[in-house]
């Protein structure tokens, strides 16, 4: 909620501008991936391990589900339901952590199969794109845990409303970017 005389809450505006720079980062990575891929005679290159499409598909659903729980946390702050807000924030953090754990297990398996960043453009672009997104999810989970600790101590849900809204914007961005990356890197 904006203060008296304020058109937009300054934290939200700052996050929107920040997300603009983040969108450009991912647009650059996607552009590089598309150009490199178009220039390759065969994609994925022969001899490279195939990416786990099914597991990551399920993981995508987990991440999409976290957008729903984050939205519910935001609704709970408007309804002054502190316990519900804490519960939904915890659920979001748990889903984000689960996503990261599955991604970590996937990376470990791929490294075990010999897919290293130094093994070629295929691996380098995969680790650059998926790794960048993973770092963003990790940052979002850490932010969410800090927010959760504050929400736990807060006397009312309204006290955390601004922080939850800013965090929600970032979380929704991170979730919205992933299906695009998944479709490009895993499915195409």
- Point out which residues bind other proteins (CB under 8 A): 7-8, 16-17, 20, 23-24, 27-28, 30-32, 34-39
Nearer to other proteins, 5 or 46 (CB): 5
CB of 7 to other proteins, least distance (A): 5
- Structure-block tokens of residue 105: 């297990």
Nearer to other proteins, 27 or 146 (CB): 27
CB of 89 to other proteins, least distance (A): 26
CB of 45 to other proteins, least distance (A): 15
Q: How far apart are CA 78 and CA 75, in angstroms?
A: 5
- Residue linked to tokens 């729980």: 69
Nearer to other proteins, 35 or 42 (CB): 35
Q: Rounded to the nearest 10 degrees, what angle do helices 161-182 and 53-78 cross at?
A: 160
Which candidate, 136, 66, 134, places its Cα nearest to that of 126?
A: 134
Q: Which residues contact 118 (CB under 8 A, 6 or more apart)?
A: 124
Nearer to other proteins, 16 or 142 (CB): 16
Q: How far apart are CA 150 and CA 143, in angstroms?
A: 11
CB of 101 to other proteins, least distance (A): 32
């Amino acid at each position: 909620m904006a203060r008296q005389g304020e058109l937009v809450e300054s934290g939200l505006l700052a996050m929107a501008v920040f997300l603009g720079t983040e969108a450009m980062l991912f647009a650059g990575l996607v552009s590089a991936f598309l150009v490199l891929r178009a220039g390759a005679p065969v994609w994925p290159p022969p001899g490279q391990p195939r990416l786990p499409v099914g597991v990551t598909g399920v993981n995508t659903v987990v991440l999409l589900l976290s957008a729903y729980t984050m939205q519910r946390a935001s609704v709970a702050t408007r309804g002054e339901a502190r316990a519900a807000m804490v519960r939904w924030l915890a659920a979001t953090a748990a889903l984000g952590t689960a996503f990261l754990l599955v991604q970590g297990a996937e990376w470990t398996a791929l490294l075990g199969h010999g897919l290293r960043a130094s093994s070629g453009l295929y691996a380098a672009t995969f680790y650059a794109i998926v790794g960048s997104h993973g770092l963003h999810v990790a940052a979002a989970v850490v932010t969410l845990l800090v927010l959760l600790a504050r929400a736990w101590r807060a006397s009312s849900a309204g006290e955390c409303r601004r922080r939850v809204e800013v965090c929600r914007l970032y979380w929704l961005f991170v979730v919205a970017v992933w299906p695009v990356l998944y479709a490009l890197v895993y499915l195409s």
